[in-house]
A and B are shown apart, each in its own frame.
Chain A
Amino acid sequence: MSTETEPLLRVRGLTKHFPVREGFRAKGAVRAVDGLDFDVRPGETLGLVGESGCGKTTTGRMLVRLLEPTSGSIEFAGRDITHARRGALRPLRQDLQIIFQDPYASLNPRHTVGRIVAMPLQVNGINPPGGIKKRVQELLELVGLNPEHYNRYPHEFSGGQRQRIGIARALALRPKLIVADEPVSALDVSIQAQVINLLRDLQRDLDLAFVFIAHDLAVVRHFCHRVAVMYLGKIVEIGDRDDIYQRPQHPYTRALLSAIPDVTTLGPAGRIRLTGDVPTPLNPPSGCRFRTRCWKAQERCATEEPALVPQDGGNQATACHFPETGTISQGAGPAAVTAEEVSK
Chain B
Amino acid sequence: MSLSPVEGVALAEIESTGAGPEKKGLVGRSPGQLVWARLRRDRTALVSGIVLAVFILAALAAPLLQRLYGVSPSQQFGDLLDSTGMPLGYVGGVSGDHWFGLEPGLGRDIFIRMIYGIRTSLLIALGAALVTTTIGVVLGIVAGYLGGVVDSVIMWVTDVALAMPFLIFALAVVPTFSLRFYGPRDAVPTWFAVTTLIVVFAAFGWTGTARLVRGQVVSLREREFVEAARASGAGLGHMLFRQLLPNIWAPILVAFSLAVPSYVTGEAALSFLGVGLPESVPSFGRMIYRSIDYLQTDPAYVFFPGVTIFALVLAFNLFGDALRDALDPKSSR
Contacts and interface: CB of A to CB of B under 8 A. Distances in A.
Contacts of B232: 93, 97, 119-120, 123-124, 169, 173
A166 to B, nearest CB: 7
| Residue from the set A119, A123, A169 with the largest chain B CB neighbour count within 10 Å | A123
Given A100-B228, A169-B228, A110 B31 contact: yes
Contacts of B224: 100-102, 105-106
B233 A100 contact: no
Nearest to A152: B28
A11 B169 CA distance: 60
A86 B234 CA distance: 9
Interface in A83-100: 86, 89-90, 93, 97-98, 100
Interface string B215-258: 00000000111011111111100100001001101000000000
A93 B235 CA distance: 13
B44 to A, nearest CB: 26
Interface in A104-157: 105-112, 116, 119-120, 122-124, 151-153, 155-156
Interface of A: 61, 64-66, 86, 89-90, 93, 97-98, 100-102, 105-112, 116, 119-120, 122-124, 151-153, 155-156, 166, 169, 173
B238 A123 contact: yes
A107 to B, nearest CB: 6
Given A108-B247, A119-B232, A123-B232, 15 more contacts: A66-B227, A100-B224, A100-B227, A105-B225, A106-B228, A107-B225, A108-B225, A110-B246, A110-B247, A111-B246, A119-B229, A123-B235, A153-B28, A166-B228, A173-B232
25 contacts: A64-B231, A65-B231, A66-B227, A86-B233, A89-B233, A90-B233, A102-B224, A105-B223, A105-B224, A106-B225, A106-B227, A107-B225, A108-B246, A109-B247, A110-B247, A112-B30, A119-B228, A120-B233, A124-B232, A151-B28, A153-B28, A156-B28, A169-B228, A169-B232, A173-B232
Contacts of A155: 31
B223 to A, nearest CB: 5
B233 A153 contact: no
Nearest to A149: B28
Contacts of A102: 224
Given A101-B224, A169-B228, A108 B243 contact: yes
B258 to A, nearest CB: 22
A261 to B, nearest CB: 30
A195 B235 CA distance: 30
A66 B249 CA distance: 26
Contacts of B235: 86, 123
A61 B224 CA distance: 11
